[in-house]
Each structure stands twice: as C-alpha cells, then as structure tokens.
Amino acid sequence: MVYFVGRDLDVFLATEENNNGLFWQSGATGPSWAFDDDTSKTGYTLVAAPRSNLTVTDTQVKYLTGADLSVGAMDEDITYVGFRDVTKVEIKKETTLTLTRKKVDAVWDDVFNNARMGLTGAALIGASDNEEPTQTRGYRIWLKLKPSGSAQGDTFTLRNCCVQSHSVTTNVDGTFDETLEFMTYIDPKIGNIGDVAITPATSL
C-alpha cells in the first residue's frame, strides 16, 4: 500500500470508451447524464473523458488531497502430501485505488449510485446489467507522479476499473472530504507515459 498526497501526483480519469465521455449535471429530481467525444459540454461537469482524450488537462481530478494505491494478487494454494509448505499459483492481480478530495459537489455521490461500472457505448452500465466483462467496461485511470529534480515521473495506468465504495467525512473546520474507491483485476501498466490503448481481450 502506497499513500500519495495530492501535490505529489496528478490523477486523470477517463471511461474505457474511445469516443464517449461521461458528463454530469445536477437537477431537482436527480442527476442528468450526457455522453460526448469531447472534454467539455455546456452546462455539464466532466466526470470522465473518452479514453482517447485522457492526456487533456481537463480530465485531471480536481481538489485532490490524497491517493492510496494498493497492488496485490489473488493466489490459489496447492498442497502436497509430506510438505508443510504450499505452492502459490497466481490467479489474477487485484489493484485498489482510493482517491480523496475536497467535496465541492455531488458528482462522486451520483457516480457511485448510478455509474459504478462506466459506459457501454453512449449509455450507463446499470446495476442490473449483468453482462460479461468487455474491453470497454469501466474506467481508465492514470496516476502521474510529478518528477523530482532531473528524474522523469512515471505513470501508473489502471484499466477497466469499477467503483467499489464512496464515503464522506466531516472535518473540524466544517469542510467535507470524500473518497472514491476503484478496483480492477486487470494487470496495471507502468511507464514514462500513460497507456491509452484498448485493453486486449486476452487480458480480461
């Protein structure tokens, strides 16, 4: 588990759809959602840009105060007669990212309630849409470490993430912090630049 404060990295959020981003607008009777291949839409707040636009500054998570990254693996134990030790067989990776920001609107509340799994085409994947995993399901996240001195910062790419939990806490000064937790079983990518390529079907 690694914890980063907001000033140490930039976090960029996109959908796994190449041509559809997710936009939010508050309303008296509930949120209004829109889908577009751009990073801005009049009257709406950008939640997650199309994957092809992930490098655009508008896709950066605002008011970020911290990021908690945990990388692990799920193993299956194989036991043998006459041995105390076991063989660990890796089944899949398990990566969890918890983002914390100052609460300024109800975007993350509505994402958790309505858009946990991302998009399918130009529509939200609902809680009752029990479809098999696809290459465009979920969210794409970049964690871009800021360079130190002459060293180039690395970028950690999480693919096909779903939203796992959301919480809001009250501070003593009356302000609010909120967290949004993402989880994925797809192997993360690490490099000098973020990965925008579609997730191969063989990685699902």
The per-residue pLDDT for 151 is 59
Residue 11's closest CA among 204, 194, 200? 194
**pLDDT beneath 50, residues of the chain:** none
Tokens 């579609």 found at: 198
> Model's pTM, two decimal places?
0.90
**Dihedral sign, Cα of residue 156, residue 162, residue 167, residue 173:** positive
- Grouping H, G, I as helix, E, B as strand and the rest as coil, residue 184 is strand
The pLDDT assigned to 148 comes to 65
- Pinpoint the alpha helices (H) of the chain: 107-114
pLDDT for 152: 66
Report how far apart, in Å, the C-alpha atoms of 104 and of each of 28, 30, 42, 109, 189 are: 17, 17, 19, 11, 31
What pLDDT does residue 131 have?
76
CA dihedral over 69, 142, 121, 198, signed as positive or negative? negative
The whole-number pLDDT of residue 52 equals 85
Q: What distance in Å separates the CA atoms of residue 119 and residue 35, rounded to the nearest whole number?
A: 9
Q: What pLDDT is stored for residue 150 in this prediction?
A: 54
Q: Rounded CA gap, 165 and 137, in Å?
A: 18
Which spans in 30-131 are helix H? Answer: 107-114
DSSP codes of every residue in 126-179: -TT--PPP-TT-SEEEEEEEPP-TTSPPPEEEEEEEEEEEEEEEE-TTS-EEEE
Q: Phi and psi at residue 57, in whole multiples of 5°?
A: -55, -35
Tell me yes or no: is domain 2-199 CATH 2.30.110.
Answer: yes
Helix %, strand %, coil % for the chain, to 5?
Answer: 10, 45, 45
Residue 57 makes CB contacts below 8 A (sequence gap 6+) with none
How is the chain split into domains, by residue range? 2-199
